[in-house]
Each structure stands twice: as C-alpha cells, then as structure tokens.
Amino acid sequence: MLKEKRVIRDPIHGYIHIDDELIWNLINTREFQRLRRIRQLGSTSVVFPSGTHTRHLHSLGCYEVARRMLEEIKNLGECLNEREKRAVLAAALLHDIGHAPFSHSFEAILKHHHEFYTVQIIKGPSEVNDVLNTVDDRFAEEVAQIIDHSHPNKILSQIISSQLDADRIDYLLRDSYCTGTIYGKVDLDRLLRTMRVRDNVLAVKQSSIYTVENYIMSRYHMYWQVYYHPTSRSFDSILKSLFLRLKDLHEENPDIVREYPMYKALLEKEILNNDEFFLLDDETCSYSFNLMRNSSDPILKDLAVRIMDRHLFDYTSADNEEELIRHCLRKGYDPRYYVVKDYQRQIPYLPYLGRGSDNIWMLMDNGELRELSEVSSVVGSLTDLNEQDERVFYPKEIMK
C-alpha cells in the first residue's frame, strides 16, 4: 500500500483513486506512459475534432470503474480474495497496453489484434512485467489470463471484458464526453448500486432494467454515429492504402526501410518484439507521414498528404466498385490503392451460447438469474437486428 493515497483528476470520474503501490508503479512504466501517445479514437477526430483523448486516460478510467465495482457492488468484494482483487485492477489498467497507433485500423496492418500484444507485454520482457513480478513470479501470468479469458475465476474477466464491463462503461462515457455527442451516457452510479454476484456471475437487479436497456441503446448509437462514421472510415481506408503501398515498395526494394526506419520491424517481421512495438505510436506515424510528403514515389506521397491535410476519399455503396475501378484506370490512378472496400457490422446485443459469463444477466425479484434478451422486450427485438454497412472509398477527382 502507498503511504498516502494518490488521486488523479479526471473529467469523467472526478478523481481516480490509487492506494496500491503496484498500480502506481505500473502507471509509471514506459509501456503505460506510451499510451499518452496513442489516441483513444484514432481517426475519429477527423469528424469530431475534440475526440483526441488518449488510451492512457481511458486505461486509468477503466481501472477506476473496476475499482468502484470492487468497492460498491454489494457482495463482489467478499467473493474475491485480495490477490484476485489486485490482479483484476492491474488487468483493468493494462487491458489496452498493446494498442497500436490509430486505434483498430492499424490492427489489419500489424496482422495481430491488440490483445495479442497486450498479453505479450504483460508476460515480458517489459517494465510492466518487471513490476508485476514484484508480487511473485506467477502474478503476471494470472493478469494475462484475466485478459485472455483463461483465468479459472470467470468473474474476473467479466469485470473487465464481457458485454457490460469496466472497459465498455468507461469508453462510452469518455468517448461521448470527449466527442461532444450525447448518445453514450450510462448511469454508472445506478448500475453499481444494483449489481450483485449470483452463482459466480455478475448480474443486474431487475429494478434496473431500464438502465441496462439505455446502456445497450447508447452503445448501439455510439457505434453508428461515432465509431463507424464513414468519414473516419475514409481516413482509415487511406491509412490502409498507404501501408499497403509501403509494403509493395518494400517488396520491390527493401532499401526503402532506410528512409522509414520506424517501420523496419513492421515490414520485415510477422511478430514484433516488445522493444519494436514500443516505438510505434501516433507521433512516430505522423512524423513518418511528414517524411513521405517528400517521397519520390508519387502514390506514397499523395496518400501521406491526404492523411496529414485531411484530403479524404469520398464514399458510395459497394455495388459501384467495378464502375469506380474503371474510372480510376481512366484517370491514371491505381485502383489497388485508390478503390478501398470497407465492411462494418453491428449487432446491438447478442446472447452468447458459449461463454455464459459474457451475457448480461438480470437478477429477478424472485432470485432467479435470466439472460437480458429474455427479460427485456426492447433488447429482445434488437438481437435480430444485424446491421451491415459496406462502402467503397475513392478519390473524388476520378469522377470528374
């Protein structure tokens, strides 16, 4: 324990409270500090200019929600031992430590999801791993197990990653506040007051059914209005094309890494080690795009200018792809980089058949546990809603 409790000011939670030295030491590792240089919402700020908050702040917020869950959910504290409580708070803090630049759009380029690098950093070698090892040599493994859902106590993973968890609650509240949208409001205080552990799963009392329905609707609206906004997907399409071009150029002439040494490992290896991964952040990428403004390759140069100066692609229905390819060729643009298809899909709420702890459970007045969509006709009707959106992105000049 710290001699004196530390607090960090936060616009969403007021204060983030830290009294365990382990958490304080994790915050002060170089891998956690790197998250200051990773924006939470990647390209979303091309649409919502104030949405430039970082993974660093969201990770602290996720920790704070998890901490409040342990403290305020009536019988949760007594279901977990002290070691499990420390492990779940460390997991909440570290759950996004493996995030690449530009949020999820970079995952396609890295070929691995952020969870892969999160677990790799936790298991080390890394400063994070050194700090976790101060507890004992099994502790890092247990934190990793909470993140990859292999921990035997399923309730620990449910706290940070299920369908109603500390991660989602913090990002909905924070992303709506920071973008200035009003869809993501979640009544956290009421949820915490009415959550209970029953049969080793977290459940919400029946009396809070409207709070849970509102949470599901908030999430649904945030996805289409903010996270899948077509303008930020346009930015992501250009980003994908730029890295595709870089990869193609590297195959022709591996010397290109001399001009962009920050991408040496990315271009040459399937899996980056922790030191190589550490150097990739939003600021490194922005610097590289500025270098590419002077590239002798006209495609790389054009794509970098588009990213930095927000000269985005237009978009239309994916049905027009063939026609766009023809226009592209007519205007002398290579459709490999200038016609980009993107597909997004969202199911507002899906009851899981496999991992039961991933469901949202309602604790009925008669003491029975029931899965949310069986109890709420509003959510029940949403489980059939499988909204898909396929678009194709292209430079508007080709249509002139």
The binding site for Zn ion (CB under 5 A) comprises 96, 167
Q: How far is the CB of 293 from Zn ion (least distance, A)?
A: 33
Nearer to Zn ion, 208 or 232 (CB): 232
Q: Which amino acid is at 364?
A: M
298 and 309 Cβ atoms separated by less than 8 Å: no
Q: How far is the CB of 242 from Zn ion (least distance, A)?
A: 26
125's torsion region: left (phi>0), alpha (psi -120 to 50) or beta? beta
Q: How far is the CB of 53 from Zn ion (least distance, A)?
A: 12
Residues in the chain: 400
What angle, rounded to 10 degrees, do the helices at 82-94 and 55-72 form? 160
Kindly provide the residue ranges of all beta strands, DSSP E only, lying in 287-386, ordered along the sequence: 314-317, 340-346, 361-363, 369-371
Whole-angstrom distance, CA of residue 375 vs CA of residue 216 = 14
- Token couple for 133: 């090892």
Is the bond leading into 335 cis (omega within 30 degrees of zero)? no
342's torsion region: left (phi>0), alpha (psi -120 to 50) or beta? beta
Nearer to Zn ion, 40 or 120 (CB): 40
Q: How far is the CB of 92 from Zn ion (least distance, A)?
A: 9
CA distances from 99 to 118, 207, 312 (A): 7, 37, 24
Nearer to Zn ion, 167 or 302 (CB): 167
Q: How far is the CB of 368 from Zn ion (least distance, A)?
A: 32
Q: How far is the CB of 20 from Zn ion (least distance, A)?
A: 20
Q: Number of helices (H) and strands (E), helices first, in the chain?
A: 22, 9
Nearer to Zn ion, 89 or 328 (CB): 89
Nearer to Zn ion, 146 or 312 (CB): 146
- Token couple for 40: 């939470």
Q: How far is the CB of 292 from Zn ion (least distance, A)?
A: 30
Nearer to Zn ion, 167 or 213 (CB): 167
Q: How far is the CB of 168 from Zn ion (least distance, A)?
A: 8
Whole-angstrom distance, CA of residue 146 vs CA of residue 220 = 26
Q: How far is the CB of 45 from Zn ion (least distance, A)?
A: 17
Find the Cα–Cα–Cα–Cα dihedral 121, 118, 88, 206, rounded to 10°: 180
Q: Which secondary-structure segment (H or E) carries 221?
A: helix 209-222
Q: How far is the CB of 112 from Zn ion (least distance, A)?
A: 17
Nearer to Zn ion, 167 or 281 (CB): 167
Nearer to Zn ion, 67 or 245 (CB): 67
Kindly provide the residue ranges of all beta strands, DSSP E only, lying in 187-292, ordered along the sequence: 195-198, 201-205
CA distances from 309 to 46, 72, 297, 301, 304 (A): 10, 47, 18, 12, 8
DSSP class of residue 257? G
Residue that the structure tokens 């049905």 belong to: 319
Nearer to Zn ion, 96 or 358 (CB): 96
Nearer to Zn ion, 167 or 342 (CB): 167
- Token couple for 204: 């919400």
